[in-house]
Structure 1
Amino acid sequence: MRSTFVRGGAALGAAALALTAFTACGDDEGNGKAGGRKGGDAAQPVDVTPAAAVRKATEKAEEFTSLEYRMAGEVPGEGVMEGTGAISMEPPAMQMTMTVDGATPDESGEMEIRLVDDAMYMNLGEEAAAQMGGKTWLKIAMSDAEGGEGGNPLLEMKQADDNPAEEAQMMNAADDLKKVGEEEIEGVETTRYTGTVTLDDLRAELTGLDAKAKKNRQEKIDEMAEQGVDEFTMDMWIDGEDHTKQFRMQAETKEGPLDTTMTFLSYNEPVTVKAPPASETTDMNGMMQDMEGAEGGA
């Protein structure tokens, strides 16, 4: 069952990436589809500098409520992933289906995760059901996740709305931003921009941030430094309404290459996430107590 939890943590990490890039996709009029101009219209006015275009996109979404996205890429230590998901910011809820192609069969497979009502539900599949009384879903309540050592993907997912623009905003630190050209993404005309960001670039911006943003940025710097990342490349595809249609991040880590792409399919559309039927769900806390009891009896 360990490999299943590993895949679940990776899937939540991918969802967190979607959240951090979220602010770049908002619609200040509350419209639903992440669209843009189609056909031959220019995606961005010709007099907009790359820095101004990226900054405007990262500041666009103060009124977002939800996001539907597709994710694909390679995550160090986990393997090649692809999946789809939907996230609601208020109330917090998330549903994601992720396929992982890991280094071994045990580390590969499909994972579905739901976050709703202060709990995370993981569909562990038929193989794990044999260890859970025939039930395929595992419930981890928020209260059970608190107080543990190290990073907890459930808590990270719950707290991601503290600064959902963090990853996308980091692109503003690049001093080599440039326009790549016009590209069509999901039938939408966009302009692609790219830039390289170093950890020193991010540190140089710390003094201009408020206390909360500074804390979040420092934590991100420390996390990336621990992963052996010194610099990373970001690409942003911006449509004709200054909304991010796609976002890519690439870096070299101690465990190998990181290369993830988020494509935004819609935003500010209703997202409904339901908890799995209780008859198909095992509670994590109860399962651990049963295991401890069995060990004590032995």
Structure 2
Amino acid sequence: MRILSFGSVPRGVTGAVSAVVLFAGGAVACGGDGGSDPARGEPSGVTPATAVAKAAAHSADIVSLHYRITGTVPEEGRLEADAFMRTDPPAMSMELSTAGRSGNGRLPVRFVDGVMYVGGAAKGRSWFRADPATWGGLTVDNDSYGVLPRQLEGSPVVQSTLLTGSEDVRRVGTETVDGARTTHYRGTVTFDGLRAARDAAPDEATRERRVESLDQFMGLRVSDTLTMDLWVDGDGRAKRFRWQARTDGARGGTGGGPLDLTVTFLDVDRPVTIEAPPAEDTAALVEDAREVLD
């Protein structure tokens, strides 16, 4: 196995992260109108923009989630992940695999109480830890020490709301997603569109959601326009979303490329337990990550 080279790694951490490779081996694995269609089970007068906005409002109430990610990201190519998250207190557990991982092994990653744990094997321990580590926060706060791609450092609950910034959202049709009947919407999203949606927010709660959406869009480093598909279930909640875009590298450097990522919500608000590995079964990824970041 090799450690993932997603995103930027803080200076001084690269060597420590690479140590996981040596020890772990290969075992670890506002927009458009379009009208409504009562024949599809949509209430009369509900436009695509309204349906998308309501789905975003529902997402704000999610407290726990089981979700699946598939697609391609810049630099690493194809990936798959199965993950669980909760919002209060924030925590996430994921098993990630990429096309470049030997033997299609899956890498377990957890974020609990501000600490990141990465599955490995060294000195009789099964996990490496690093802190401070943040997942699911604002883009500037997220830090997975290069283990996760930046697209996976944000909360999918917030990411599902990006289509609220589209000025051309339209209804595509109805489809079954993971056994649920859904309405499929599509639109293009730009920085200017999201900023306009933020400024036009009718209340503080909506504005806050749109500020978070704008932050997530900026973190993706989309070159120009993001094409987004959103599938909304019969309860008006996001069931799946897909991003397609061209991205720029960090600070204008290398690392950009095509992005095509699909996230499916499997179970919402069912009990989720995410715990830190036993302390005796972890080894420090770096001796003091705070000093590295300072």
What TM-score, normalized by structure 1, do the two folds share? 0.68
Larger fraction in helix: 1
Equivalent residue, structure 2, for 1:152: 143
Find the aligned partners of 2:4 and 2:195 in 1 and give their Cα distance. Answer: 33
Instruction: Give the superposition deviation at 1:228.
Output: 5.1
* Preserved CA contact (<8 Å) 1:43 1:238: no
Find the aligned partners of 1:213 and 1:46 in 2 and give their Cα distance. Answer: 26
Give yes or no for the alignment of 1:192 onto 2:188: no
Distance 1:142 1:275, change over 3 A: same
Amino acid at match of 1:86: F
Paired residue secondary structure (2:171) = strand
> 1:96-140: CA deviations, max 9, x gaps?
0011113x859x74210112233111003xxxx3xx324231011
Equivalent residue, structure 2, for 1:60: 58
Structure 2 segments unaligned to the other structure (5+ residues):
10-38, 249-255, 290-294
What TM-score, normalized by structure 2, do the two folds share? 0.69
Query: Of 245, 252, 257, which residue of structure 2 is paired with 1:251?
Result: 245
Instruction: Give the superposition deviation at 1:160.
Output: 5.7
Find the aligned partners of 2:278 and 2:217 in 1 and give their Cα distance. Answer: 40
Distance 1:248 1:122, change over 3 A: same
After TM superposition, the structure 1 stretch with the greater mean CA deviation from structure 2, 194-203 or 210-219, is 210-219
Equivalent residue, structure 2, for 1:270: 271
RMSD, aligned CA: 3.7
Find the aligned partners of 2:163 and 2:239 in 1 and give their Cα distance. Answer: 15
Instruction: Give the superposition deviation at 1:279.
Output: 3.5
Find the aligned partners of 2:214 and 2:40 in 1 and give their Cα distance. Answer: 38
Instruction: Give the superposition deviation at 1:151.
Output: 5.9
Aligned length: 241
Paired residue secondary structure (1:59) = helix
Equivalent residue, structure 1, for 2:112: 116
Distance 1:51 1:266, change over 3 A: same
Find the aligned partners of 2:178 and 2:240 in 1 and give their Cα distance. Answer: 10
Equivalent residue, structure 1, for 2:22: none
Instruction: Give the superposition deviation at 1:48.
Output: 2.3
* Preserved CA contact (<8 Å) 1:70 1:263: yes
Find the aligned partners of 2:174 and 2:91 in 1 and give their Cα distance. Answer: 34
Find the aligned partners of 2:141 and 2:269 in 1 and give their Cα distance. Answer: 33
Distance 1:213 1:242, change over 3 A: closer
Query: Of 224, 249, 266, which residue of structure 2 is paired with 1:230?
Result: 224
Find the aligned partners of 1:49 and 1:160 in 2 and give their Cα distance. Answer: 28
- Bigger RCO of structures 1 and 2 (CA < 8 A, at least 6 apart): 1
Distance 1:78 1:95, change over 3 A: same
Amino acid at match of 1:110: R
Query: Of 65, 69, 72, which residue of structure 1 is paired with 2:70?
Result: 72
Task: State, as a whole percentage, how many aligned pairs show the same letter.
Answer: 34
Equivalent residue, structure 1, for 2:5: 6
Instruction: Give the superposition deviation at 1:193.
Output: 0.5
Instruction: Give the superposition deviation at 1:70.
Output: 0.8
Give yes or no for the alignment of 1:137 onto 2:127: yes
Paired residue secondary structure (1:275) = coil
